[in-house]
Amino acid sequence: MFLSIYLSFCVAIASLAGVGISTPTHDSHINYTTVTGYFLQDEASTNTSTFSFIDTNFGLINRTYATDATYDPNGKKTQWQRFENQVFRLNRESGRKVQYKLIFMGRHGEGYHNAAESYYGTPAWNCYWSLVDGNGTVRWDDAQVTPEGVKQALAVNAFWASELKIQKVPPPRSYYTSPLTRCLTTANLTFSGLDLPSRHPFVPTFKEFLREGISGHTCDRRGTKSYIQQAFPSYRIEPGFTETDQLWQAYRREVEIDQDIRSKAVLDDVFSTDDETYISITSHSGEIASLLRVLGHRPFRLATGAVIPVLVKAETVDGPAPTTATVPYEAICTCTSPPAVGATTSTCTYATATPSIP
């Protein structure tokens, strides 16, 4: 099923008129690389567990660029203004088959599924609690953000407001989000009310392939298209978005190679159809990790609510893309009864019986 949806998606991409760089065809493909030397998150010396994008100007390295001499001879511009000019020059001099984009990838604020895993412990969460919709008090299927998650998103909103005003950071011109509720909500809390260009308001598009790694966890099962349209009426819907979730399967999960294939597909879609340079993506820890792999970025795990900017070079290369085959979903290990709260291990099997709340 995944393969047929993926192939249909690629056919739709190939039929689109090229905007920006050349649209990939069966005779060409897009190759992605992360352009290092601009952000601290790119550096091997940066500690991913203690790094704060808020305390470091999004991680933008304080450095000079070759373009500074003519653009800012008196040293009056901010680091972000000089970076924006540098990216402009990179694109102007790159040629038709190469494009540079800065992608701000933001992880959703804390969801009720995150809080439940913290409470029950990862072993109990993975083999039992993640497979049910809730515990009778709290629901985490297609999880909502918690009050802490709201607080995290609003803190990022305040940070954006400060960066736009003081550092003159270029705001995103296009916005994309996972169709899962926690991302739809986080994106709204993060960007609503900001002083954005009138020609580029916050009107995000939700895209199926930006969702979290598909698993038997109910928090990763999305709502219907009708629900999303009713809850977020200003959001745009990508073409071909189905009414119901066609990808989620109980007790089964996609493997990493499949996730990377769809991450590559959604990046191809964005880079082939969107000529904006500054892009926002609101997604999940697992999906952002997959996007980073496709982009050739070093692993960089984000805390809930965190943001990572990545300068991407996309080059349309002659010849077909390297062959990558999808792999069938695999079964996940389940427990027939919940392990003790805080258990560090669990005994699970590949049974298909539905866990039930005692």
Chain segment 202-245, per-residue pLDDT in tens: 999 999 999 999 999 999 999 999 999 999 999 999 999 999 99
User: Where do the H-state alpha helices sit in the chain?
Assistant: 2-14, 68-71, 79-92, 112-120, 122-127, 147-162, 181-191, 225-231, 256-273, 285-294
Decide if pLDDT at 64 tops 70. yes
Cβ-contact 14, 321 below 8 angstroms: no
Identify the active-site residue in 117, 163, 208, 212.
212
Q: Is 148 a catalytic residue?
A: no
Q: What mean pLDDT, rounded, does the chain reach?
A: 90
Decide if pLDDT at 88 tops 90. yes
First to last CA, the chain: 34
Q: Is 297 a catalytic residue?
A: no
How far is 302 from 291, CA to CA, in rounded Å? 13
Q: Quick one: average pLDDT of 253-265? A: 95
Edge-to-edge strands, sheet with 236-237 = 28-34, 307-318, 98-107, 278-283, 174-177, 205-206, 236-237
Residue type, 42: D
> Cα 101 to the chain's mean position, in Å?
15
Decide if pLDDT at 49 tops 50. yes
How far is 102 from 172, CA to CA, in rounded Å? 9
How far is 280 from 297, CA to CA, in rounded Å? 17
How far is 22 from 30, CA to CA, in rounded Å? 9
Per-residue pLDDT tens digits for 9-25: 443 333 333 323 344 56
Q: Quick one: average pLDDT of 288-311? A: 98
How far is 158 from 152, CA to CA, in rounded Å? 10
pTM assigned to the model: 0.90
